Amino acid sequence: MGGLLVIALLAVTGIVVLVGTARGLLRRRAVARLLRRPPALIGELREGQLARIEGRVSAEDTPLLRSPIEERPCVGYYVGVDYFDVTRHHVPRWFPVAEETAMVPFRVVGDDGAVLDVDASSIDIEICFIESGRVLDPPRDRVRPILRRNDRRSAAGRNLSYVEVAIEPGARVSLIGRVLRPASGGGGAYRRSAHGAALGPLRDGDAIRLDVKPRR
């Protein structure tokens, strides 16, 4: 009986893994298709549409965050910290030690003047960027809280580097997701309507993809 139970559990686990793998593959294919297409205008979005949208971040009436190391006002940030370990496996190299992402609700104003609402308080955001190089020796008083929140206090005295991406008001971004609500009022809805379009993930449980270039 015990053996049968183990076999059943392994079979169920295998199904979960296969479903998760297939789900990830479908999402990657959908994202790849949308990246090949021109971005959609926010004022022309339809409910339920899968779309890629471009525009500039607006943070009116939104309490801004501050990025933890460079202290830039922003609607969201990603920070990753690495440390240089000369002892692990006797091969000196950089190892990731901490990662952190935070977002607040924000809006994106499209090229047509229409607005898109992104409720980052209830929907996960996947921040994608092209890394232009890590910065060495971050200020210890600013990196220490990040290490503490990631339970990596022991790395505080090591040789550290970091990359930080802050999504500042006015930044141009690209978003991929499913339209939850179309914009009302058409073009210029940002000025004439109480609400704009709303964006959610491609599928329930996924994250909205947000592409932004790091500041140079």
Residues 141-192 pLDDT 10s: 888 888 888 887 666 666 888 999 999 999 999 999 999 999 875 444 444 4
Q: Identify the residue with better confidence: 214 or 146.
A: 146
Cβ count near 17 (within 10 Å): 10
**pLDDT attached to residue 140:** 85
Q: Identify the residue with better confidence: 38 or 158.
A: 38
**pLDDT attached to residue 186:** 47
Average of per-residue pLDDT across 103-131: 91
**pLDDT attached to residue 92:** 72
Q: Tell me the pLDDT of the chain averaged across its residues.
A: 80
pTM of the full predicted structure?
0.77
The proportion of the chain whose per-residue pLDDT surpasses 70, expressed as a percent, equals 76
Q: Is the pLDDT of residue 24 over 50?
A: yes
**What is the distance between the alpha carbons of residues 211 and 34, in angstroms, rounded to a whole number?**
13
Average of per-residue pLDDT across 47-71: 91
Average of per-residue pLDDT across 38-57: 93
Burial degree of 56 (CB within 10 A; 0-12, 13-18, 19+)? middle
Measured torsion, CA atoms of residues 37, 205, 118, 80, in degrees rounded to the nearest 10: -90
- The answer to whether the CB of 75 falls within 8 A of the CB of 59 is yes
Tell me which of 36-45, 63-72, 188-197 is least confident.
188-197
**pLDDT attached to residue 68:** 93
Tell me which of 33-42, 48-57, 97-106, 188-197 is least confident.
188-197
pLDDT band at residue 216 under the 50/70/90 scheme: low
Residue at token pair 């993809």: 209
